[in-house]
């Protein structure tokens, strides 16, 4: 019986495939000892939302979709007529408050002058009373002396009556001066009370000025908010506003993407994190630019798995538990020594293959 011929070419091909497969397997195994890889990663950049601070109708839009802008460039304006009228109103209120303050200052000055006059009258009356008391003492001594002389018939009745009249006049003068002193004291009290009231009115007027100034500054500030400018250098997203459109404070209208700085968020399996630490070098391959390798560095690790940040995080205490490998977001910074133009070409959301050099 004739033996079948051995197919040498087939054996050579199979042997070559086995050798290549084994070599590739050994290479991947050796590579896995020094690297951790994932393709669950995306480019991230700062996306600055454009949010108006005041409400109003859009007056003019200065940019178009995907335009590049510089910090301070005007993006769009809001109709400012209403806000200019508020400045005029606040200016008028401030002028009125300042006028009231000046009137209050004049009133308190007049009242303080009245207090000074009343105080001077009280002091003058006190001095007059002291003088009148001295005169009364003299008149009383003269009367007592003349009274004794009259009893001994040494002087005439007329002299006695003159001494009596002088004594009574001195007594009446003291009473008049004491009444004047009381009246001056009462007037002083009234003036002091008026001064307190005027002082309170002046404080209120000063507070009104402060409030009017604050309202004016607020109106002026709101006027500046009608011009919306770029806070950073970057590229704008799609512009969804048109002239005449009503916008509200806090309404997110579009974004400015910062093209000068980028990083990667890579979602590694929890089983891959054993040997990964911050500071390890990383090689990035972006699907959009497969011919260029970006150099990067592991920056930080998320404090929780990605599922924990979802709207409805899984709860293993309910239902049937099925163990699944979780993924942890890892932030990877793209090194600055990469091609700057290449970094600018990166767009948030682009897919990335990540290779972390753990050794």
In this structure, are 71 and 99 located in the same domain? no
Do residue 153 and residue 177 come from a single domain?
yes
Most confidently modeled range among 111-125, 132-146, 187-201, 208-222: 208-222
Q: Residue 74 maps to which CATH number?
A: 2.40.50.100
Shared domain check, 264 and 247: no
Residue 2 token pair: 């004739």
- How many other β-carbons are positioned within 10 Å of the β-carbon of residue 259? 19
User: 79-116, pLDDT tens digit by residue?
Assistant: 999 999 999 999 998 888 777 766 666 556 555 555 56
Number of folded domains that form the chain: 3
Considering the domain architecture, whether residues 148 and 191 belong to the same structural domain is answered as yes
Q: Both 211 and 94 in a single domain?
A: yes
pLDDT at 19: 79
141 and 186, same domain (yes or no):
yes
pLDDT at 155: 73
CATH number for 177: 1.10.287.620
Does 343 lie in the same domain as 275? yes
Tokens describing residue 192: 């002091």
Residues 247 and 175 in one domain: no
Whether pLDDT at 25 is above 90: no
**Is 230 a residue whose pLDDT tops 80?**
yes
* 62 and 107 housed in the same domain: no
117: its two tokens? 């006059």
Mean pLDDT of all residues in the chain?
81
Given 160, 189, 216, the domain boundary residue is: 216
Kindly report the CATH number assigned to the domain that includes residue 323: 2.40.30.170
Tell me, yes or no, whether 302 and 287 share the same domain: yes
Are residue 232 and residue 189 in the same domain, yes or no? no
154-165 pLDDT, tens digit per residue, is 777 777 677 677
Number of Cβ atoms within 10 Å of the Cβ of 23: 10
Q: Is position 30 within any domain?
A: no
- Owning domain of residue 104: 81-216
Alpha-carbon gap, residue 135 to 277, rounded angstroms: 108
| Statement to judge: residues 285 and 329 lie in one domain | yes
For residue 296, pLDDT beyond 90: yes
SS (H, E, C) 27-39: HHHHHHHHEEEEC
Asked, for residue 10, whether it belongs to a domain, the answer is: no
Q: Decide if 42 is inside a domain.
A: yes
Quick check: pTM over 0.75?
Answer: no
Distance CA 180, CA 169 (A): 16
- pLDDT, tens digit, for every residue of 305-329? 888 887 777 777 666 777 788 899 9
């Amino acid at each position: 019986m004739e033996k079948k011929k051995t197919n040498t070419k087939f054996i050579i091909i199979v042997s070559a495939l086995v050798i290549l497969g084994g070599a590739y397997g050994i290479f991947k195994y050796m590579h896995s000892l020094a690297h951790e890889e994932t393709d669950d990663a995306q480019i991230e950049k700062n996306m600055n939302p454009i949010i108006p601070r005041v409400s109003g109708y859009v007056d003019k839009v200065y940019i178009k979709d995907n335009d590049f802008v510089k910090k301070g460039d005007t993006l769009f304006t809001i109709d400012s007529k209403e806000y200019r009228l508020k400045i005029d109103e606040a200016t008028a209120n401030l002028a009125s408050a300042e006028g009231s303050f000046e009137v209050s200052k004049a009133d308190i000055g007049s009242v303080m002058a009245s207090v000074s006059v009343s105080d001077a009258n009280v002091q003058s009356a006190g001095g007059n009373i002291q003088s009148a008391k001295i005169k009364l003492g003299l008149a009383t001594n003269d009367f007592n002396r003349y009274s004794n002389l009259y009893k001994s018939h040494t002087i005439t009745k007329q002299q006695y009556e003159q001494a009596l009249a002088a004594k009574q006049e001195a007594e009446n003068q003291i009473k008049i001066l004491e009444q004047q002193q009381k009246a001056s004291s009462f007037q002083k009290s009234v003036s002091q009370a008026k001064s307190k009231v005027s002082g309170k009115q002046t404080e209120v007027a000063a507070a009104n000025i402060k409030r009017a100034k604050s309202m004016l500054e607020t109106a002026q500030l709101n006027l500046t908010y009608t011009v919306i400018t770029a806070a950073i250098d970057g590229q704008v997203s799609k512009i969804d506003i048109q002239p005449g459109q009503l916008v509200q404070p806090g309404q997110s209208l579009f974004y400015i993407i910062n093209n000068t700085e980028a990083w990667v968020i890579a979602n590694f399996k929890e089983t891959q994190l054993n040997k990964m630490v911050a500071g390890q070098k990383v090689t990035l391959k972006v699907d959009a630019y497969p011919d260029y390798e970006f150099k990067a560095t592991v920056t930080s690790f998320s404090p929780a798995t990605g599922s924990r940040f979802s709207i409805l995080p899984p709860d293993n205490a309910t239902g049937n538990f099925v163990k699944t490998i979780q993924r942890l977001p890892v932030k990877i910074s793209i090194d600055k020594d990469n091609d700057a133009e290449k970094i600018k070409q990166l767009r948030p959301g682009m897919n990335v293959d990540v290779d972390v050099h753990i050794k």
